[in-house]
Amino acid sequence: MSISLEKVTKRFGVTFGVEDVTTVIPSGALTAILGPSGAGKSTLLKLIGGLVTPDEGRIFIDDDDVTDVDPRHRNIGFCFQNYAPFRHMTVAKNVAYGLKVRHRPRAEIAARVEEMLELVRLSALANRYPAQLSGGEMQRMALARALAISPRVLLLDEPFGALDAQVRAELRTWIKELHDRIHVTTVLVTHDQNEAMEVADSLIVLNEGHVEQTGTPTDLYDHPASEFVLQFLGPSTNVFGQAVRPHDLIIVTAGQGWPATVTEISTLGFEIRVAIVLENGDAAWLQQSRAEFDTHPVTIGQAIGVQRRDATVSPVGTRLDPAARSTEAVPDDRALTQRAP
């Protein structure tokens, strides 16, 4: 079930609104809405869910115009940032809620609840109350509750926001696996670019209520449509006023490229960061693999040349033909460092 938004606008005052958003969320995919806080990410999700009504524009789920449809009739699964557990009900009752509302026969509800709890691995905790669950368990309960009604789309608002780092990582992998199994069109909101890049098939980058760019994580990383996207998705540094990825800069012999001086070298395991100062006094840094660095080592104070890696990355604003891109050779070390923060 695809979701499409046509010129959707919702204004709240200074922040959190969205302005003239037109986008299509592909059917069956896991799409992440990504952006800094206040960019309108949650608003966009709530617009799809019907919890917020747009000032202008139309929203379609699978060609049905749902703009004026109450959330209770949209048949969506919505997971809230705080999980919104029904605190006076057991885990099993929480999961059964949407089915009871639909007046399903008792036996069917029981079977479905069991199936859902098994899916989210909470069968052993069926009779616990939310207050007795950990954050990760509550998140999985919220997922089971949303999925029990067989929703057309699954909407997750900051699903990992309130969890500690280890649980986050586990749940991230788990959601990806879950999505691979059930294939329901899923949209999740996050402010964490690593999380979005790791988990999502496609990204919608929001900034101040506007869609900056949409596409696959690799596409956006390699061909950012704006400096904002480049800086927001992964590391960046400035060379003569132009933002570039630090691993897209290479060191060449002095006299070639832009003249620069090495000011600092930090070894972060496999990655080496070389801080440099350019001719005009601007500071920048570049990222190399250990192997790359060892082949042509430099020392602090050394005069070097710096130039763009003549590679897959296009300057900001231009996009390569995807067919052409797939035939290009990607240097081995780049493949290894491209997801480093």
Partner 1 sequence: MTASVIAPVAEPVRNRETNTRRRLPLRLLAIAYVSLLIGLPVAFLFGKAFGLGVGTFWHQITEPGALDALELSAKVAAIVVPVNTVVGIGAGLLLARRRFPGKRLLDLTFDVPIAISPIIIGLSLFLAYSKIGAFGPWLFKHGFMLVFSVPGIVLATMAVSLPYVLRSIVPVLIEIGETQEQAARTLGAGMWRRLFTITLPAIRWALLYGIALTLARTLGEFGAVLIVSGNVTDKTQTLPIYIYDAWDQVPTNDAGAFSGAVLLALISITVLVVLSILRARERRLRVDIA
Sequence-ordered list of residues with C-beta below 8 angstroms from that of 97, at least 6 positions apart, any chain: 86, 89, 145
Q: How far is residue 214's CA from residue 338's CA, in Å, rounded to a whole number? A: 19
Q: The dihedral of CA 81, 83, 86, 87: what is its sign?
A: negative
Q: How far is residue 220's CA from residue 61's CA, in Å, rounded to a whole number? A: 25
CB of 333 to partner 1, least distance (A): 46
Number of residues assigned to the chain: 341
Residue (159 or 224) nearer to partner 1, CB: 159
Q: The dihedral of CA 42, 43, 48, 51: what is its sign?
A: positive
Residue (75 or 238) nearer to partner 1, CB: 75
CB of 214 to partner 1, least distance (A): 25
Please name the amino acid found at residue 94: N
Residue (50 or 136) nearer to partner 1, CB: 50
Residue (76 or 306) nearer to partner 1, CB: 76
DSSP state letter for 94: H
Residue (94 or 338) nearer to partner 1, CB: 94
Tokens of 137: 């368990």
Q: How far is residue 336's CA from residue 212's CA, in Å, rounded to a whole number? A: 27
Q: In what order do the strands lie in the sheet with 258-268?
A: 249-252, 303-308, 258-268, 271-278, 283-289
CB of 99 to partner 1, least distance (A): 9
Rounded to 5, what percent of the chain is helix, strand, coil?
Answer: 35, 30, 40
Q: How far is residue 123's CA from residue 115's CA, in Å, rounded to a whole number? A: 9
CB of 139 to partner 1, least distance (A): 13
SS3 117: helix
Main-chain phi, psi angles of 92, to 5 degrees: -60, -40
Residues that bind partner 1 (CB under 8 A): 49-51, 70-78, 80-82, 84-88, 97-98, 101-102, 129, 131, 142, 145-146, 149
